[in-house]
Each structure stands twice: as C-alpha cells, then as structure tokens.
C-alpha cells in the first residue's frame, strides 16, 4: 500500500447538458469533484462521462448522507468496503456502471485504492480495474476537514453548497423561447420566461445563473435588465440569442453556466478559420470531443451536422469543415463531457 501522501480537496464541476446531434437530450449536472494532488480526479479519466455523488440536485438529506459515507461515518453502499466515486449522470442506479474504490482507514490516514468499473456486485479487478489510478493516501484530519466543511454542526448541508442551475429568458413567450425553456427543463436547468425583469426582488434575481435575451428585445431593454441584475449583486451571465436554433441556444446557456476556472478546463478554445475551411480546437488534456455545426437553410429551417466525435490528445487540432454543413448562417459547437464552446462561422 502506498506510503506517500497526496492532498485532497473539492472543487465545483459541471457535466455539460445539451441537445445532441441526433436530437437526444443530455442532462446537465452540477457537482463537486475530488481534487487529488491539485488536479481534479475526473480529468485523469480520459473518456468517463460521470459525476461524483456530491451533486447539486441531490436532496439535502441525501447529500449529507453521501458526505458521511465519504467520512466513513456510514456503511459503504457496496460489498468489499467499496464506495461510488463517479456514477452515471443520467440516473442514480448502478446498472449503467460506476467507478468505485475501496475507502478505508489506515491508522489516522484515509486511503482510496483498487479503483475499478463496476456494474455488478463486485468488479473484476483484472478486466475492469483502473491500474493507473491510485492508491491515494490522505492525511486523515485534512481529508475530514475538507468534507466536514460541506456540513453544518447539526449535520445538514452547509450554506453555499451549489444548487440546481436556473436561467431567465427575456422576451415574448413565442415559439423559440418556449421551446428553449422546455429543452432546458428537459436537461435539468430551471427556466422561466418573462417580458421584463426590472423591478423584480433582488433575492429572486440572484437565483439565476444566466439571462438570455430573445432576438426581439431592444438594446435599451437589455441595458435595463443588466442594471437590475447588477443592483441585485447577481453574478448571472447575460447572453443574447445567436439564432432561433434551440440546440444552439441550449449550448449558449450551458456555456454561460460554466464557472470552471480556465486552468481546470479540458476544452480551452474553439475558433473557425476565416472562410470556413476549418475549425481550430484547443485541448488541455486528452478527452473526447464532439464538434457539431448548426445552421439555418435558405427556408430558415434548422439543420444539424455532426463533424467530429473522437478522443483528442492535448494540443491544437485543425478540423476540416464540410462546406455543406456550414452553408448560410452557421455556428459550431464543440463539447467535452464538462465544457461547451460556441463560435460563429464567418463566410
């Protein structure tokens, strides 16, 4: 067993929701990721689409139970002293599989070891083990202090724990905003539509992470809404709808919800070369990248084209663009499991 200590911490993280190229919905999840030796543990797993048990949309009692399990103050949920480190972001059951590990005390310390992918009662260590992950030895007091900060003295979740994301859509309740609100709710983002947020109570405004202005909202009306949110000391990001394309608008909202610091992102940038010949994708660490083009055809009908779905190594990658995918007014959306980036294609 390892005798070298590594540091333990927690950091807000996001599983990016959205509408995929085939029309399927991908649930948006906010959660706390584990930071081991200064690096999020999930970032070490190239193509694992999963979330930790410490999710924002978990009820207070369930959240506190998950913290107590990690503190080893409750029984492990799986045989062999195994705990779920990352599970399916679309459901809460283990049937889809989960990354599990043995968590145990070793004197005053806490050790995470024997990481493996588990779908049944016990994982097959040879076939499904993550042999390049762990074991990790944490200073017991520092480990427990990091987790106990998530709870109050009476064991309830502490104030400031992330809650579910919400978006406020400004504009008439027309087809596009109504469809956008429905799509956001479908992926787990609360969404309300209003003609004007000026005059709303500050506490209510502070609940929103994103404000989306519909295409018919005038600039002076947008400025008034921005002033109202600023007066409420809100950190909401204001965005203007790029085009009446619901998957693109959902991607705009998800990108605006991302509060991950730049140095922790895997997808660093997306640009389209002038003329639309290629896209430039910047990657910080190996991860799965999907690139999709959205456009309106000459009859203003939405069109979606999948351009790339591959695991890319770190670095700058140039992706040739199919001219048929970017005719007319078009946009590119690149996404990893935790980041979304959007860019218009200038022709």
pLDDT at 118 over 90: no
pLDDT at 2 over 70: no
* pLDDT of amino acid 173: 77
pLDDT at 280 over 80: yes
Which residue, 66, 69, 48, is CA-closest to 58? 66
pLDDT, tens digit (0-9, with 9 covering 90-100), for 126-181: 777 788 888 999 999 999 999 999 988 777 677 666 677 899 999 987 789 999 99
* pLDDT of amino acid 256: 95
* pLDDT of amino acid 259: 85
List, in order of start, the domains of the chain with CATH numbers. Answer: 5-149 (no CATH), 165-259 (3.40.50.2300), 265-346 (2.60.40.10)
* pLDDT of amino acid 93: 64
Mean pLDDT (whole number) for 201-214: 93
pLDDT at 314 over 90: yes
pLDDT at 274 over 80: no
pLDDT, tens digit (0-9, with 9 covering 90-100), for 324-335: 888 888 999 999
Structure tokens given for 15: 């599983």
Mean pLDDT (whole number) for 12-27: 90
Q: How many residues does the chain have?
A: 347
Instruction: State how far the Cα of 301 lies from the Cα of 260, in Å rounded to an integer.
Output: 34
How does the average pLDDT of the chain come out, rounded? 90
Mean pLDDT (whole number) for 249-278: 90
Mean pLDDT (whole number) for 31-42: 94
* pLDDT of amino acid 92: 65
Mean pLDDT (whole number) for 88-112: 88
Q: Out of 38-47, 58-67, 139-148, 156-165, give the one with best mean pLDDT.
A: 139-148
Q: Which residue has the higher pLDDT, 22 or 182?
A: 182
* pTM score: 0.88
pLDDT at 94 over 70: no
pLDDT at 22 over 80: yes
């Amino acid at each position: 067993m390892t005798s070298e200590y590594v540091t333990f911490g927690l950091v807000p993280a996001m599983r990016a929701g959205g509408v995929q190229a085939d029309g399927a919905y991908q649930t948006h999840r906010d959660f706390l990721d584990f930071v081991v030796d200064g690096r999020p543990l999930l970032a070490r797993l190239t193509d694992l689409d999963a979330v930790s048990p410490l999710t924002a949309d978990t009820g207070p009692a369930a959240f506190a139970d998950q913290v107590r399990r990690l503190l080893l103050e409750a029984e492990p949920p799986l045989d062999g002293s195994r705990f779920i480190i990352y599970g399916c972001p679309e459901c809460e059951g283990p049937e889809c599989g989960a990354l599990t590990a043995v968590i145990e005390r070793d004197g005053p310390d806490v050790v995470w070891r024997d990481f493996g992918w588990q779908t049944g009662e016990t994982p097959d260590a040879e076939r499904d083990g993550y042999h390049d992950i762990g074991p990790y030895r944490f200073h017991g007091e520092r480990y427990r202090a990091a987790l106990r900060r998530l709870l109050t003295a009476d064991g309830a979740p502490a104030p400031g724990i992330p809650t579910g994301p919400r978006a406020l859509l400004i504009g008439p309740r027309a087809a596009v905003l109504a469809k956008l609100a429905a799509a956001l709710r479908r992926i787990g983002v609360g969404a309300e539509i209003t003609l004007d947020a000026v005059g709303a109570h500050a506490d209510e405004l502070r609940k929103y992470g994103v404000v989306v202005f519909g295409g018919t909202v005038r600039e002076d009306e947008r400025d008034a809404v921005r002033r109202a949110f600023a007066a409420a000391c809100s950190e909401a990001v204001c965005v203007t709808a790029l085009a009446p394309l619901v998957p693109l608008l959902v991607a705009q909202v998800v990108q605006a919800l991302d509060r991950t610091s730049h140095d922790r992102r895997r997808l660093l940038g997306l640009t389209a070369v002038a003329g639309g010949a290629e896209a430039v994708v910047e990657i910080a660490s190996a991860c799965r990248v999907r690139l999709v083009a959205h456009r309106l055809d000459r009859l203003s009908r939405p069109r979606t084209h999948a351009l790339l779905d591959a695991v890319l190594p770190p670095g700058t990658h140039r992706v040739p663009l199919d001219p048929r995918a970017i005719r007319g007014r078009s946009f590119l959306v690149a996404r990893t499991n935790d980041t979304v980036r959007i860019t218009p294609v200038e022709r």
